[in-house]
């Protein structure tokens, strides 16, 4: 505890929980059920407009001569602006571009929390394979630049397990850029058995895009459409294109197209409970979908085929990852891991994902194991699993002595994080 007698836990102070991912950064107060904000993990970087500099969207750097303006959050990013590049600050589950990341944190304190950083302890989630250098840099950033009173880092798999009421679990997390299987034992990650594959939501979007382009379906996102006519199914779309500013960057157009594909995959794509079979898939009712330009049609068996790549891959299928991860653990924890397989991450919301994983694991697990899948029914619990775990952890009384306080940091520096945060 710090000398001022300030209480970290309890009602006095709301600790903030940050859960960074490739799709978005979730932020909110500990004790809440859901994050206060879900901010895309990208920043729009455009040339500063000398006339608009008084504008408060996100001001350009205070250094004179800075020529860039930064746009954070959906409402600013989704505007068509000339020469605005979209850049992500994440790479391989870790923060890579710290300057952009700081812009987002500044935005969070200014617009989301609307309070100074010095008043709120901060709990951050991190990927199971985060490296020491990154952990120390984040600790340094939060305690020095933002002067937070206390700081803590927890592995996101541990938090997802906590959110589902487990201290020991095999956490299968399928997100935007990758799917991973992380064994957690008594609240600690067994790091030698972490397995990950690059098949996630973005890979699926790519599959959808190849398929739709192969069908010659026009993928004009909403921003390019001024008005459209009602047409019969499978008729050519009739729409009036919108007049757009010149010099729209390729990265921004790709980002907007990705939004369209994500909507398509969440509405249409589904996972079959058994390995893909044309006859089985053909018996399931088709799903109707309308594209932004007004074109619409039914999608039948092909919608199952798209998702199949997440499971039928010899090495990288979700079932293979999970069983490989358990196989790398000690024999005495395997039963308890199979007994609580926690499914989390936005990509796991594909209908049928958990059921298929359950079936694949049953085929791979030894015959005497009792397999139990824990997949929260609500989409909120599954998308924000790690954040909710952080919210629970940050508000538990016994956790309050675990924080790295600003005083401890001043005494022994950033290496504290390796000692105090497993």
Q: Give the domain CATH number at 72.
A: 3.30.420.40
pLDDT digits (tens, 9 = 90+) for 170-219: 999 999 999 999 999 999 999 999 999 999 999 999 999 999 999 999 99
Last residue of one domain, picked from the residues 252, 274, 309:
309
Reduce the DSSP state of residue 112 to 3 states and report it: helix
Nearest to 49 by CA among 73, 87, 83, 100: 83
How far apart are alpha carbons 44 and 36 in whole angstroms? Answer: 22
Assess if residue 353 is contained within a domain.
Answer: no
Give the confidence band of 134 by pLDDT, cuts at 50, 70, 90.
very high
Q: Read off φ and ψ for residue 395, nearest 5 degrees.
A: -110, 5
How many folded domains does the chain comprise? 2
User: Which of residues 247 and 64 earns the better pLDDT score?
Assistant: 247
On whether the CB atoms of residues 117 and 148 are closer than 8 A, the answer is yes
- Both 35 and 135 in a single domain? yes
Give pLDDT tens digits for 96-129.
Answer: 999 999 999 999 999 999 999 999 999 999 999 9
Q: Are residues 22 and 160 in the same domain?
A: yes
Final residue of a structural domain among 281, 309, 337: 309
Edge-first strand listing for the sheet containing 68-71: 68-71, 42-47, 85-88
Cβ neighbour number for residue 95 with a 10 Å cutoff: 23
- Quote the CA–CA distance of 117 and 133 in Å, as a whole number: 23
Looking at the domain assignment, is residue 218 inside a domain?
yes
Strand partners, 49: none
Residues 23 and 73 reside in one and the same domain: yes
Among 280, 309, 338, which residue terminates a domain? Answer: 309
The CATH code of the domain that includes 218 is 3.90.640.10
Domain of 114, in residue numbers: 16-47+66-164+379-420
The pTM for the full model equals 0.92
pLDDT for residue 327: 96
What would the pLDDT profile of 8-53 be if each residue is shown by its tens digit? Answer: 444 456 899 999 999 999 999 999 999 999 999 999 999 987 655 4
Q: Is a pLDDT exceeding 70 seen at residue 168?
A: yes
**Residue 371 counted as domain residue:** no
């Amino acid at each position: 505890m710090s000398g001022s007698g300030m209480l970290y836990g309890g009602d006095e102070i709301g600790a903030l929980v940050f859960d960074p991912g490739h799709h978005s950064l979730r932020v909110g107060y500990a004790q809440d059920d859901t994050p206060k904000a879900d901010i895309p993990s990208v920043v729009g970087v455009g040339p500063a407009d000398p006339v608009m500099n008084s504008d408060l969207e996100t001001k350009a750097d205070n250094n004179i001569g800075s020529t860039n303006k930064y746009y954070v959050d959906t409402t600013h990013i989704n505007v068509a602006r000339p020469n605005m590049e979209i850049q992500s600050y994440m790479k391989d589950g870790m923060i890579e571009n710290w300057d952009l990341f700081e812009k987002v944190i500044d935005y969070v304190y200014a617009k989301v929390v609307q309070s100074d950083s010095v008043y709120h302890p901060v709990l951050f989630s991190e990927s199971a394979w985060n490296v020491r250098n990154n952990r120390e840099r984040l600790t340094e950033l939060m305690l020095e630049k933002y002067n937070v009173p206390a700081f803590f880092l927890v592995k996101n798999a541990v938090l997802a397990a906590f959110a589902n009421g487990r201290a020991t679990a095999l956490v299968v997390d399928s997100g935007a850029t990758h799917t991973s299987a992380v064994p957690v034992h008594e609240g600690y990650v067994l790091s030698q058995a972490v397995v990950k594959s690059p098949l996630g939501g973005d890979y699926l979007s790519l599959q959808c895009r190849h398929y739709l382009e192969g069908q010659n379906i026009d993928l004009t996102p909403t921003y390019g459409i001024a008005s459209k006519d009602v047409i019969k199914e499978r008729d050519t779309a009739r729409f009036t294109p919108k007049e757009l500013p010149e010099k729209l960057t390729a990265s921004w157009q790709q980002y907007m197209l990705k939004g369209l594909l994500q909507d398509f995959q969440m509405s249409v794509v589904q996972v079959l409970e058994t390995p893909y079979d044309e006859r089985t898939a053909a018996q399931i009712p088709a799903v109707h979908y309308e594209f932004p330009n007004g074109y619409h049609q039914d999608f039948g068996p092909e919608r199952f085929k798209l998702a199949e790549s997440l499971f039928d891959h010899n090495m990288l299928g979700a079932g293979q990852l999970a069983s490989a991860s358990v196989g790398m653990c000690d024999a005495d924890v395997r039963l308890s891991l199979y007994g609580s397989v926690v499914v989390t991450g936005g990509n796991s919301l594909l209908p049928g994902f958990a059921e298929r994983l359950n079936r694949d694991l049953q085929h791979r697990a030894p015959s005497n194991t009792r397999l139990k899948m824990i997949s929260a029914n609500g989409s909120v619990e599954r998308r924000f699993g790690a954040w909710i775990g952080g919210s629970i952890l940050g508000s538990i009384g016994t956790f309050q002595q675990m924080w790295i306080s600003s005083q401890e940091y001043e005494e022994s520096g950033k290496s504290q994080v390796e000692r105090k945060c497993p």
